[in-house]
Structure 1
Amino acid sequence: MKNKIFLIIFLTFLGSVSLSDYVDEATVDIDNEHYAQPSACSGYCGEYSSRGKRLTDSPPKSRILDAMLSSKMLPLRPDEPDFLSFLRDKYELPKGFKGPLAEYDFIIVGAGSAGSVLAARLSEGRKASVLLLEAGVGESLVTDVPILAPLLQQTDYVWPYTMEHQPGVCTGMVDGRCFWPRGKAVGGSSVVNYMIYTRGLQQDWDGIAAAGNYGWSYNDVIPYYMKSERATLKGLKNSPWHGRDGELNVEDVPFRSKLSKAFLDAAKLFGHRRVDYNSPDAFGFSYIQATMTRGQRASSAKAFLHNNKKRKNLHILTTSRATKVIIDPILKTAIGVEFHKNGRVYQIRANKEVILSAGPIESPHLLMLSGVGPKRHLQSFGIPVVKDLKVGESLYDHISFPALAFTLNTSRITLVEKNIATLSNVVQYDHYGDGPMSSLAGVETIGYIKTNISNEIGDYPDIELLGSCASLASDEGKIVARGIRLADWLYKDVYQPIENVESFTVLFMLLHPKSKGFLKLKSTDPYQQPSLNGNYLTHRQDVDTMIAAIRYIIKLVDTAPFKKYGAKLYTKKFPNCSQHKFNSDGYWECAVRTVTATLHHQIATCKMGPPSDPDAVVDPELRVYGVNNLRVVDSSIIPRTIVAHTNAPAIMIGEKAADMIKRDWRLY
């Protein structure tokens, strides 16, 4: 009843206001603005009502963090003991504004990889007013440090999602459940990820376009990648495939171990070429290109929002949790957003569009809470159905097996935390932006292979390899193992014995899983995470491809470039796989089902597709089917698996969407 009364008042207000009253800089005149009037929250009001304890109630332990604290780099203040608070980027309303306004031209939900660039572009030239809502806070000095990436997944900079229990996967994880952390900050997952910059192959985007998604071919999307990019890459100064005038820094990682060269030399012995994997000629091996600025993380927020946050027509609200898109059920039109901030409820109007950029979990979650989703599913929760769409019914994810370990008989080759957590390394990083602390937590090199399991035509990879100079034992189980929620019984039995031995891993990514997952509501409580179902390894080909990848890695390391450091496969069995002979197919299947780790690339939950696609949620211009003035702009729209970590594609999607929206509303 309360919602119906609000809707009547809201629609009455809509009819009394002309859009012509809210154009250009008139939308941001401090003296003439109407401020939003919040109300007290009733019902579902608390973020921690469903989750319990905050992650940072027990802050993660790290020798590197301790070394930073002991230096002048992070002077801990007695009045603010939260280690995440150091020089946190502040986002306040522009000078003179007393609070959020009652209406804006555009409301963007989510200041992540896509939302940050979208907000920056739509607020250019002050031709439109933009409200950007973010549930998290600004990044801090701690998030700048690349080597701390896995530690961040144990903090309040992530949504601590867990997948529903699925028999036969993640059996070696805490509670036997897969952990799916997603970024919760201004900058989203670009604040907590490993900064790997990959765009996807030409075959990926051309295939998406060929399925009816006009405007999404490789030639269509490359200009948007290059628009954002400011590349400083050795040997690629004159490459026609990289931008140099954008806001997002893409650079070589300053730190490289000897194992990175060994990885590329071994690949050469196997016939693999050195390539620029972000060019059309991408099938090969390379050092990683990273979103960094002189050794520091370059998040989407830093690139696109930090220097623009004082624009009078761009209002960024942090710690603001969107709970519903307000949709006129008669006109089928999105007219505003409801969100909670500081225990108060705001309902703010969007004159032009509501845009969901909340990511592959929260964007479909919000759609369903707002009445857009599978009809029967929404009706089972008593949610009035605005539009019957297959929201959340497609979900693909890239998974990995980070548990392989190789030992060395040479010292000072790998990143052993207790050896590199020194004052001199902190000073080196602080002054020069290089040294071990600039490492992507050990990940250094990348390569694409096509296993003998693949049924693809031509040089189209099914596995991405990631060379590193660390293993799960390198930090004594305090950071990486806890970051993926590896169970203590497994770590202590298998990895603790090699804590005093130099060791490393080579990771791999299953690029094109055949197993398809889904996402559903658990409750009408917006603070309760949706039901996440990865359905990992339910297709036999996925299992076989992962086993083939493991065998390929073992052969790759069993070559002269690695052998000169005494590299040897660590053969300690997983205790739960003792019934299998080590190195048999049965053993490796048991192992990958024990440590089944996400690489945080969930896609397709708000799938893009033409009208003829029965599974499509948004059209090729990212407009939600059947609902006016509502779009989804983030990685959830990617309709099929691509050869990419999804941060760069999300930024590209934001860039492309901004142009489409500007065109539709004549904002050029």
Structure 2
Amino acid sequence: MIRKIKLFILGALLTLSSGGVTNDSRDGFSSEEQGTLKRSYRQHPLIDTLLQSVNPKYEPKQPDDFFDFLRDQYPLPDGLKSPLSEYDYIIVGAGSAGCTLAARLTEDPKTTVLLLEAGKGEMFTTDAPAIAAFFQRTDYTWQYFMEKEPGVCLGMINKKCFWPRGKAIGGTSVINYMIYTRGRPEEWNRIAAAGNVGWSYDEVLEYYKKSERSSLRGLEDSPHRGRKGELNVEFVQYRTPMIDAFLEAGRERGIPTVDYNAPEQLGFGYVQSTTQDGKRVSAAKAFLHRNKNRPNLHILPNTRVTKVLIDSMTKTAYGVQYVRNRLKRNVAARKEVILSAGPIASPQLLMLSGVGPKDHLSSHGIPVIQDLPVGRTLYDHISFPGLIFTLNTTGMTLSESRFAQLPGVIQTVTQWLQYGDGPPASPGAVEGIGYIRTPVSNDPDPVPDMELISIGGSLVSDGGPGGSKAVRRGMMISEKIFDAAYGSIDDTDTWSPFLMLLHPESFGFIELKDNNPWSHPRMHGRYLSDAGGKDVATFVAAVRFVQELVATTPFQRFGARLHRAQYPACRALPFDSDAYWECAVRTLTATLHHQIATCRMGPAGDPQAVVDPRLRVHGLRNLRVVDSSIIPRTVAAHTNAPAIMIGEKAADMIKEDANR
């Protein structure tokens, strides 16, 4: 146990003190801002000494190699030194959908699958849910930035929203906050009604249940939960008193405490997380770890796919081009190429391969194979994390400064490693989820327009002298603006709900920067740009709802008071006015990494569709997209569980099509 604790703390130091900001990810930043980014990744001089104390044979290596002996390994089976030249299926991207799909397709020992991933294997430091924020700015992520746009992300470094996506075996499930949500029945039924046969709520529910291994106390008899799947879902064992205040206040306001993933009614509930005994369960842990030694499943980490190979005459995909160890190679697919690279990389790869908007591809000198609206629709869930309430009690919330001091941290880590509880088990301090309909909603169906994410603290819980400031840095909030707004309450006991807009009217798009596969694409969120201003009005209405919620007895027991944040851009506006809150939301506009619809699903004849309801790319043969980019419209869900469900459903469709 002592060695395990030592390794964990060492691994945490390594992971949190390094990582890469590529030149491309710094594009558009001033020299001063680039210096700030570089300082975030400075290597601690004691790391080599610490490594040698664990492994006497360790020799200092380049930064990209520091973690190799701690990472999950995926050697090719049967002693192979290199992959085969041909497989039945090639899956690009080992994220939530890709891991699921690879595991299901290789259940048939006669089916060969090559799974290609640009990132590396995870390490056991990612198991700790509490430090999820740290991984947003390590080499486990693609360091994407949204293009600078007027009136949003004003409080972020260089006024650009940060869009980290997972770059690991396991994808974004290695760095996310492990929140398990599915979407409301009405939302999936609308998707099916638009011509997407097979995607109604009852139909997707069976695939949610297939993956799930529910360990939710009190819901053992629920007909909506799965119990025999690979993905563990549980209630978080460690809670602060603030979650009980949140749920009790909801009941006082007539909002029931429910299983928020059940279809019957909206309400508040304890967060359900993809963890097991307080430790993260990534898609890789759930679907690959027990299957990675299958002789018919070959997994290549650190492998960058640069192009899908498509015969322009027959419009048939027959393989991919990839770069590994600085060598460019081709590999062939006998049956299908499947893109599971996520809502940014999948559309980028399609466009680089000649599949996308004709005029856009031609402008970059890319021969057009199929003219499709790839990337022309991009929805995202944005949040406002700046609604913070101070408390007149101490020790009631999660505080990094309180739990990170030695020797207490050793006792805390020991308890978590042995029993799966204590502060490390809290998924980024998220404790509860609440769905509400604000007065702004004109939806005829009982669909929420706002999600409240109850935090056992707030943005200031990671501060104080020597604090990591991981949450604020993970969002790339400007230090100057943060200090002006929250410096007076930094590292104090507070409570906050993150407000997440579920069904924005605004939507953006993604396009290529150039025809270089190593360049990041240009991402335009176009947040809060709807002509009618409904998105802003929904945020303001949610703020008013929370103010009424906090006025109830459960919160007033803790003396909860709204903090008067002094945002520099909002100082001329009366505090607590609607205009002030609009300015606040435009200052702290934060993505929750739920981009969808960039490879939009729709039937033949849908001018916005890229793939059909069986996820086949329109007009092409042997090419599918299987990830969250196919979801055609917003759903009330964090996208990890839907991506896994999509992988499950796609596996069955692929097997059915192969047997026809």
Aligned to 1:612: 605
Within 5 Å, give how 1:510-529 maps onto structure 2: 510-529=501-520
Q: Distance in 2 between matches of 1:55 and 1:573?
A: 23
| Partner residue of 2:143 out of 160, 176, 189 | 160
User: Does the CA contact (< 8 Å) of 1:56 and 1:154 recur in 2?
Assistant: no
| Partner residue of 2:414 out of 398, 414, 427 | 427
Instruction: Identify which range, 270-279 or 126-135, moves more after superposition.
Output: 270-279
Within 5 Å, give how 1:254-273 maps onto structure 2: 254-273=237-256
Alignment CA distance shift 1:90-1:216 (3 Å):
same
User: Does the CA contact (< 8 Å) of 2:21 and 2:38 recur in 1?
Assistant: no
SS at match of 1:194: coil
SS at match of 2:418: helix
Alignment CA distance shift 1:442-1:134 (3 Å):
same
Q: Distance in 2 between matches of 1:365 and 1:128?
A: 28
Aligned to 1:580: 573
1:573 to partner: Cα distance: 1.9
Instruction: Show structure 1 runs of 5+ residues with no match.
Output: 1-45
Do structure 1's residue 355 and structure 2's residue 338 form an aligned pair?
yes
Q: Distance in 2 between matches of 1:61 and 1:429?
A: 28
SS at match of 2:138: coil
User: Does the CA contact (< 8 Å) of 2:236 and 2:272 recur in 1?
Assistant: yes
Q: Which amino acid aligns with 2:94?
A: A
* Cα-to-partner distance string for 1:244-282 (whole Å, 9 max, x where unaligned): 111000011111110000000000011101221212114
Aligned to 1:493: 484
Do structure 1's residue 448 and structure 2's residue 441 form an aligned pair?
no
Do structure 1's residue 210 and structure 2's residue 193 form an aligned pair?
yes
Do structure 1's residue 395 and structure 2's residue 340 form an aligned pair?
no
Alignment CA distance shift 1:586-1:341 (3 Å):
same
* Cα-to-partner distance string for 1:134-170 (whole Å, 9 max, x where unaligned): 0001111111100111110010111010000101100
Instruction: Identify which range, 199-208 or 453-462, moves more after superposition.
Output: 453-462
User: Does the CA contact (< 8 Å) of 2:25 and 2:143 recur in 1?
Assistant: no
Q: Which amino acid aligns with 1:138?
A: G
SS at match of 1:649: helix
Q: Distance in 2 between matches of 1:338 and 1:618?
A: 22
Q: How many residues align?
A: 619
Aligned to 1:410: 393
| Partner residue of 2:423 out of 436, 439, 443 | 436
Q: Distance in 1 between matches of 2:127 and 2:491?
A: 29
User: Does the CA contact (< 8 Å) of 1:110 and 1:359 recur in 2?
Assistant: yes
User: Does the CA contact (< 8 Å) of 2:211 and 2:226 recur in 1?
Assistant: yes
Aligned to 2:267: 284
Q: Distance in 2 between matches of 1:74 and 1:187?
A: 27
User: Does the CA contact (< 8 Å) of 1:59 and 1:155 recur in 2?
Assistant: no
Q: What is the TM-score of this pair, normalised by structure 2? A: 0.90
Alignment CA distance shift 1:80-1:559 (3 Å):
farther
User: Does the CA contact (< 8 Å) of 1:230 and 1:246 recur in 2?
Assistant: yes
User: Does the CA contact (< 8 Å) of 1:275 and 1:281 recur in 2?
Assistant: no
Structure 1 stretches of 4+ with a deviation exceeding 2 A read 46-63, 73-87
Q: Which amino acid aligns with 1:634?
A: D
Do structure 1's residue 303 and structure 2's residue 303 form an aligned pair?
no
1:92 to partner: Cα distance: 1.2
Q: Which amino acid aligns with 2:303?
A: S
User: Does the CA contact (< 8 Å) of 2:21 and 2:143 recur in 1?
Assistant: no
Alignment CA distance shift 1:205-1:187 (3 Å):
same
Alignment CA distance shift 1:56-1:295 (3 Å):
farther
Q: Distance in 2 between matches of 1:110 and 1:545?
A: 35
Q: Distance in 1 between matches of 2:39 and 2:94?
A: 26
User: Does the CA contact (< 8 Å) of 2:512 and 2:521 recur in 1?
Assistant: yes
Aligned to 2:16: none
Aligned to 1:25: none
1:504 to partner: Cα distance: 2.2
1:213 to partner: Cα distance: 0.2
Q: Distance in 2 between matches of 1:272 and 1:76?
A: 58
Aligned to 1:147: 130
Aligned to 2:630: 637
User: Does the CA contact (< 8 Å) of 2:484 and 2:566 recur in 1?
Assistant: no
Q: What is the TM-score of this pair, normalised by structure 1? A: 0.89
1:659 to partner: Cα distance: 0.2
* Cα-to-partner distance string for 1:646-665 (whole Å, 9 max, x where unaligned): 00000000000000001111
Alignment CA distance shift 1:74-1:529 (3 Å):
farther
* Cα-to-partner distance string for 1:603-632 (whole Å, 9 max, x where unaligned): 000000011211100000000001100000
Q: Distance in 2 between matches of 1:573 and 1:645?
A: 30
Q: Distance in 2 between matches of 1:76 and 1:600?
A: 40
SS at match of 2:538: helix
Q: Distance in 1 between matches of 2:501 and 2:444?
A: 17
Alignment CA distance shift 1:100-1:200 (3 Å):
same
| Partner residue of 1:323 out of 295, 306, 309 | 306
User: Does the CA contact (< 8 Å) of 1:56 and 1:155 recur in 2?
Assistant: no
SS at match of 1:335: strand
Within 5 Å, give how 1:9-24 maps onto structure 2: none
SS at match of 1:95: helix
Q: Distance in 2 between matches of 1:305 and 1:292?
A: 16
User: Does the CA contact (< 8 Å) of 1:60 and 1:478 recur in 2?
Assistant: no
* Cα-to-partner distance string for 1:195-217 (whole Å, 9 max, x where unaligned): 00001110011000000000000
Aligned to 1:376: 359
User: Does the CA contact (< 8 Å) of 2:564 and 2:575 recur in 1?
Assistant: yes
Aligned to 2:451: 464
Aligned to 2:31: none
Q: Distance in 1 between matches of 2:323 and 2:519?
A: 14
User: Does the CA contact (< 8 Å) of 1:163 and 1:178 recur in 2?
Assistant: yes
Q: Which amino acid aligns with 2:171?
A: G
Q: Distance in 1 between matches of 2:226 and 2:236?
A: 18
Aligned to 1:186: 169
Alignment CA distance shift 1:427-1:489 (3 Å):
same
SS at match of 1:260: helix
Q: Distance in 1 between matches of 2:76 and 2:35?
A: 27
Q: Distance in 1 between matches of 2:643 and 2:60?
A: 34
1:458 to partner: Cα distance: 3.9
User: Does the CA contact (< 8 Å) of 2:401 and 2:491 recur in 1?
Assistant: no
User: Does the CA contact (< 8 Å) of 2:462 and 2:491 recur in 1?
Assistant: no
SS at match of 1:366: helix
User: Does the CA contact (< 8 Å) of 2:570 and 2:584 recur in 1?
Assistant: yes
Alignment CA distance shift 1:314-1:415 (3 Å):
same
Aligned to 2:152: 169
Percent of paired sites with the same residue? 55
